């Protein structure tokens, strides 16, 4: 059994992703409710989660304590909820806003390398959203 309530798989080479992860660590306050794993680490194995490198690089993924994966905006909703700040992202799950917020995240995921100044960091299809 895991002690954490949610694990987030981040692209540690992405400046925005790293900043978000650092903020979530601060919100967790050392309680260990949220685990954060860097998918750019040489020892990261996406197969452990039943995923491929292309999938986890294409958009953010999270892991539930039972091993199930979630992806996209749902990862942020669950990560903030795990550390007691779910109310901050609750509006992103409201019926009218959910499709807009989910689409905005998908846009960011597809363009994050370019938006974070790393347009040439991925020369294969490995970084596309799947």
pTM of the model: 0.85
Q: Where are the beta strands (DSSP E) in 1-130?
A: 6-10, 34-38, 61-63, 69-71
| pLDDT value of residue 39 | 94
User: Two tokens at 55?
Assistant: 């999938």
Most trustworthy range by pLDDT among 55-59, 118-122, 125-129: 55-59
Token pair 């660590």: residue: 25
pLDDT confidence of residue 62: 97
- Reference 17, options 126, 92, 105; nearest CA is 105
SS3 at position 37? strand
pLDDT, one tens digit per residue, over 19-43 is 999 999 999 999 999 999 999 999 9
If we measure between CA atoms, which residue out of 56, 85, 60 comes closest to residue 72? 60
pLDDT grade for 125, boundaries at 50, 70 and 90: very low
- Rounded-to-integer distance, Cα 129 and Cα 111, Å: 9
Q: What are the pLDDT digits (tens) for 38-92?
A: 999 999 999 999 999 989 988 999 999 999 999 999 999 999 999 999 999 999 9
């Amino acid at each position: 059994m895991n002690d954490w309530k949610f694990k987030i798989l981040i692209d540690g080479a992405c400046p925005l992703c790293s900043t978000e992860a650092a903020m979530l660590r601060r919100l967790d306050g050392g309680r260990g409710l949220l685990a954060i794993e860097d998918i750019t680490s040489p020892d990261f194995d996406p197969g452990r989660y039943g995923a491929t490198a292309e999938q986890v690089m294409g958009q953010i993924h999270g892991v539930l304590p039972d091993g199930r994966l979630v992806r996209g905006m749902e990862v942020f909703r669950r990560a903030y909820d795990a550390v007691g700040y779910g109310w901050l992202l609750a509006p992103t799950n409201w019926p009218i806003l959910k499709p807009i917020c989910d689409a905005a995240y998908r846009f960011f995921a597809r363009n994050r390398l370019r938006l974070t100044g790393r347009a040439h960091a991925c020369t294969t299809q490995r970084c596309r959203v799947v």
